[in-house]
Structures are given as structure tokens and as C-alpha cells.
């Protein structure tokens, strides 16, 4: 087949001579290669930029003091730059969102891929797509006007802008990612597995949870990791509901995340304070890279099995 193709390509159907034509094709090849290379360049560019601009402040403040200092007073007379509160808030907030969001998302995914009829499935799928299409500021707005006042009255607080509010908003925001990735994994489980289980006398539900779910486990794990990445990187919605005070994390207190620490001071910062913000961004970037690596491993594992 190949030889036939080659023969036809060379027998002079095209108006150009062989030489110019080959040069033209090489040129196109190069052009498209450059387009592809741009993506790689962007990643390198962003990584290098964040590292270069993030390191000076860490060097000046000291790595241990920066990472494990528990006070952030960037504008005081003797400024202190400890980002432990932000790191812990990001970790707790993300963990909370996962604890709330994953069970709901996972069970919805099982329902969607196994139990739902085609019509119901279409409705839920649309709902999930729409949820992921809602801008984060809109989530922030609703959190601000519904959730924050509700938390204030429920717990008799001075302000409802708390870690709890951020966790609920983040849980809703990661839901669509968890549902869609888990559903893809669950739907890819070979029908024979389920049929074998059913034929052995297991009920439908037993089959789904004891056969399908374990078979799709790496895909489901990938969905959780993806959710972690989304939650830890979210800035605006969290900024609108978490109150933005640099406290050590506590469920009913106003807190500041890694993302919001960068966002809230960037517009008026200068000098070491500004550089420290870049360092926070670098820490966030490292977290994200770790999560990305975990995701890549899990997805690869899913593809293999």
C-alpha cells in the first residue's frame, strides 16, 4: 500500500516540480512543529519565570522561616513573612472540599454510568457540564449572599466569611470534575466483568460497587487528584467567601489561602513584600506540579489496565 501511495505521489500529478514540492512540505512540517513546540516553550517559560522571581525572597527571609513561620505581617514595621497559615489553610480547605465533594460526586458518577436510563443520564450530564461552566466569581457571589449569612446565623458568629464557607464553595466547584472523570472511568469497565458478576448471582448494586468500582479505581483516583488540583488553585471564589485574614486555619474563622494571599496583596505590594508574594506563587506552583505528576501516573495506570 505504501509503495503504491508513493508511486502516485511522484508521477507528476502535482504542478510543482519534485524539488520545490519537497521543500514546501518540509516548510509546512517545520511550521506545524513550531506550533507544537510553543506549548512546551510556554510551560518552560512559566516554570522558569516563577522559580526565578520566587527565589530571591525565600533566600532573604530564609526557607524555614518562610515555610514554617506562623505569622504573616507583610506591612508591619518589622514585617514577618511566614506562610504556614496559607499552606495549612490551602491543605485543610482542599481536604475539606474533597471530603464533602468526592462522595457526592463519586456516587453521582456511579448513578450516571450504571443506573440512569439514557434520558436521565442526558439530563445529569448537561447539569454537570453547566456546573463546570459557571464562572468562579458567580460561585463567589452566591457563596457571599447565601452561604456566608447562613453560617453567621447558624453559628452565631460576627462574620460568616470562614474556612467552612470556602470548603462548601470549593466542594461544589470540584463536583463536575469528579463526576465527569469518574464516569468516564466507570463506563470504560468491560461489560463482561459485570455480566460475569451478575451471572454468579450478585445483585446489580453489588456488581457496581464490588466489580465495576474496583476495576475503575485508578480513574476514580485520578478524578480525586484532579479535584485537589482545581480546589488548591481556585482564587476568586475563595477570596469572596473566606474573609481573607491571615489566621491559622480553623473551621469557623476567617482564613487566607495560598492563592488569595497572592491575589489580595498583589495590587499594592512593593519591595520584599512583593517578592514574597512571588515566592508564595512558587510554593503553589510546586504543589500543582506534584499533583500534576500524580495525575499523569494515575491516568497512565488507568490506560494500561
Partner 1 sequence: MEQKSKRRVLYDRTLRALLWFCAALTCLLLAFLIGYIFVNGIPHITWQLLSTEPSFRSDTIGILPNIVNTLCLILGTLLIVLPLGAGAAVYLTEYAKNRRVVAAIEFAAETLSGIPSILFGLVGMLFFCEVLGWGGSIRAGILTMTIMVLPTIIRTTQESLKSVPQSYREASLGLGSGKWHMIRTAVLPSSVEGIVTGYILAIGRILGESAALLFTAGSASILSANLLQTLSSSGGTLSVALYMYVSERGELEVGFAIAAILMMLALLLNLSAKVAGKKLKR
Q: How far apart are CA 277 and CA 275, in angstroms?
A: 5
Using CB under 8 A as the binding rule, whether residue 155 contacts partner 1 is answered as: no
Using CB under 8 A as the binding rule, whether residue 245 contacts partner 1 is answered as: no
Q: How far apart are CA 227 and CA 176, in angstroms?
A: 9
Q: How far apart are CA 84 and CA 65, in angstroms?
A: 9
Site stretch for partner 1 (CB under 8 A), options 38-46, 64-72, 91-99, 147-155:
38-46
* From candidates 23, 51, 123, 200, binder to partner 1 by CB under 8 A: 123
Q: How far apart are CA 46 and CA 305, in angstroms?
A: 34
113 and 185 Cβ atoms separated by less than 8 Å: no
Min dist CB 17 to partner 1, Å, is 12
Interaction with partner 1 in 205-244: which residues (CB under 8 A)? 205-206, 209, 229, 232-236, 239-240
Q: How far apart are CA 281 and CA 199, in angstroms?
A: 54
* From candidates 23, 63, 99, 137, binder to partner 1 by CB under 8 A: 137
Using CB under 8 A as the binding rule, whether residue 20 contacts partner 1 is answered as: no
Min dist CB 145 to partner 1, Å, is 7
* From candidates 23, 46, 51, 196, binder to partner 1 by CB under 8 A: 46
Neighbour count for residue 239 (Cβ, 10 Å): 21
Using CB under 8 A as the binding rule, whether residue 43 contacts partner 1 is answered as: yes
* From candidates 3, 40, 156, 268, binder to partner 1 by CB under 8 A: 40
Using CB under 8 A as the binding rule, whether residue 285 contacts partner 1 is answered as: yes
- Residue number, 71 or 134, with CB nearest to partner 1: 134
Q: What cell was used for 160?
A: 460568616
Q: What cell was used for 17?
A: 516540480
171 and 103 Cβ atoms separated by less than 8 Å: no
Q: What cell was used for 26?
A: 518540509
- Non-local (6+) Cβ contacts of 203 within 8 A are none
Min dist CB 254 to partner 1, Å, is 14
Min dist CB 195 to partner 1, Å, is 18
Interaction with partner 1 in 193-212: which residues (CB under 8 A)? 201, 203-206, 209
89 and 280 Cβ atoms separated by less than 8 Å: no
* From candidates 35, 64, 158, 199, binder to partner 1 by CB under 8 A: 35
Q: What cell was used for 286?
A: 510546586
- Residue number, 32 or 155, with CB nearest to partner 1: 32
Amino acid at each position: 500500500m505504501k509503495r503504491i501511495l508513493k508511486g502516485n505521489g511522484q508521477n507528476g500529478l502535482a504542478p510543482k516540480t519534485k524539488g520545490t514540492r519537497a521543500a514546501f512540505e518540509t516548510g509546512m512540517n517545520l511550521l506545524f512543529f513550531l506550533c507544537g513546540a510553543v506549548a512546551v516553550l510556554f510551560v518552560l517559560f512559566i516554570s522558569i519565570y516563577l522559580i526565578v522571581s520566587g527565589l530571591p525572597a525565600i533566600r532573604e527571609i530564609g526557607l524555614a522561616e518562610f515555610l514554617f513561620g506562623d505569622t504573616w505581617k507583610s506591612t508591619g514595621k518589622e514585617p514577618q513573612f511566614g506562610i504556614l497559615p496559607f499552606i495549612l489553610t490551602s491543605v485543610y480547605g482542599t481536604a475539606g472540599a474533597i471530603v464533602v465533594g468526592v462522595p457526592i460526586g463519586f456516587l453521582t458518577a456511579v448513578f450516571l454510568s450504571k443506573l440512569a436510563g439514557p434520558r436521565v443520564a442526558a439530563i445529569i450530564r448537561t447539569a454537570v457540564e453547566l456546573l463546570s461552566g459557571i464562572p468562579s466569581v458567580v460561585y463567589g457571589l452566591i457563596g457571599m449572599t447565601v452561604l456566608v449569612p447562613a453560617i453567621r446565623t447558624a453559628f452565631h458568629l460576627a462574620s460568616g466569611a470562614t474556612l467552612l464557607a470556602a470548603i462548601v464553595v470549593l466542594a461544589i466547584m470540584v463536583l463536575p470534575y469528579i463526576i465527569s472523570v469518574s464516569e468516564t472511568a466507570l463506563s470504560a469497565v468491560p461489560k463482561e466483568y459485570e455480566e460475569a458478576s451478575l451471572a454468579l448471582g450478585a445483585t446489580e448494586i453489588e456488581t457496581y460497587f464490588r466489580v465495576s468500582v474496583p476495576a475503575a479505581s485508578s480513574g476514580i483516583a485520578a478524578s480525586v487528584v484532579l479535584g485537589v488540583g482545581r480546589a488548591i488553585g481556585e482564587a476568586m471564589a475563595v477570596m469572596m467567601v473566606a474573609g481573607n485574614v491571615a489566621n491559622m486555619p480553623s473551621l469557623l474563622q476567617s482564613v487566607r489561602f495560598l492563592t488569595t494571599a497572592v491575589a489580595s496583596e498583589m495590587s499594592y505590594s512593593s519591595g520584599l513584600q512583593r517578592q514574597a508574594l512571588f515566592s508564595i506563587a512558587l510554593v503553589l506552583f510546586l504543589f500543582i506540579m506534584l499533583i500534576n505528576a500524580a495525575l499523569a501516573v494515575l491516568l497512565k495506570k488507568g490506560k494500561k489496565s
